Structure 1
Amino acid sequence: MAEQVYLRMKKNMEIIGYQELKLKDIAYLSTNASEKEKLENLPIYRITKKDKNIVIIDSFLIIEHLNHDFTNLEFQLIGPPQTIIRIQEKKKSPSVMIAIGVWILLFVGTAMTIMNFHYDVSMQEVHQKIHYLLTGQEKEFPLWLQIPYSFGLGIGMLLFFNHWFNKRFNEEPSPLEVEIYNYQQDLDNYVIHYENKLNDAPPPK
Structure 2
Amino acid sequence: MAAPVYIRLKQSIGVDPQMKIRLKDVAKVTGPEQIKETLQELIIHQVTKQDRNRVVIDGFNLVEQIITMFPQEQIELIGPNVCVVHITKKKTKPSLILICVIWLLLFIGAAMAIMNFHYDVSMQPVQQKLHFMLTGKEEEHPLWLQIPYSIGLGLGMILFFNHWFRKKFNEEPSPMEVEVFNYQESLDHYVAVKENKVEKQDEDH
Per the normalisation by structure 1, the TM-score is 0.90
- Partner residue in 2 for 1:195: 195
The unaligned stretches of length 5 or more in structure 2 are: none
Alignment of 1:155-166 (within 5 A): 155-166=155-166
Q: SS in structure 2 opposite 1:163?
A: coil
Q: Which amino acid in the other structure matches residue 109 of structure 1?
A: G
Per-residue CA shift, 1:171-202, capped at 9, x if unaligned?
A: 2222222222222222112111111136579x
- Kindly tell me: are residues 200 and 184 of structure 1, through their superposed partners in 2, closer, same or farther at Cα, counting changes over 3 Å? closer
Q: Which has the higher contact order (CA 8 A, sep 6+)?
A: 1
Contact 2:22-2:42 at 8 Å conserved across structures: yes
C-alpha RMSD of the superposition:
1.8
SS for the counterpart of 1:168 is coil
The alignment-based identity, stated in percent, is: 51
Are 1:18 and 1:46, in contact at CA under 8 Å, matched by a contact in 2? yes
Q: Which segments of structure 1 move beyond 3 Å, counting only runs of 4 or more?
A: 197-201
Cα pair 1:13 1:84 within 8 Å, conserved: yes
25-34 or 51-60: bigger deviation: 25-34
Give SS of 1:167's match.
coil
Look up the equivalent residue of 1:16 and give its one-letter code. D
The residue aligned with 2:103 is 103
Partners of 1:160 and 1:89 in 2: CA distance: 33
Contact 2:194 2:200 in 1 (8 A): no
Matches within 5 A, 1:140-155: 140-155=140-155
Q: Deviations over 1:85-141 (max 9, x none)?
A: 111342333333322222111111101111111122221111110000011111111
Q: Residue 64 of structure 1 aligns with which residue?
A: 64
Superposition map of 1:1-205 within 5 A? 1-197=1-197
Give the deviation of 1:46 after TM superposition.
1.1
Distance 1:89-1:20 versus aligned 2 partners, 3 A rule: same
Kindly provide the CA deviation profile for residues 141-162 of structure 1, in whole angstroms up to 9, marking residues without a partner as x. 1111001000110011111111
Unaligned ranges ≥5, structure 1: none
> How far apart, in 1, do the equivalents of 2:127 and 2:176 lie?
30
Name the stretch that deviates more: 43-52 or 181-190: 181-190
- Tell me the distance in 1 between the aligned counterparts of 2:68 and 2:200: 17
Aligned pair count?
201
2 CA distance for matches of 1:79 and 1:94?
A: 38
Please identify which structure carries the higher strand content: 1
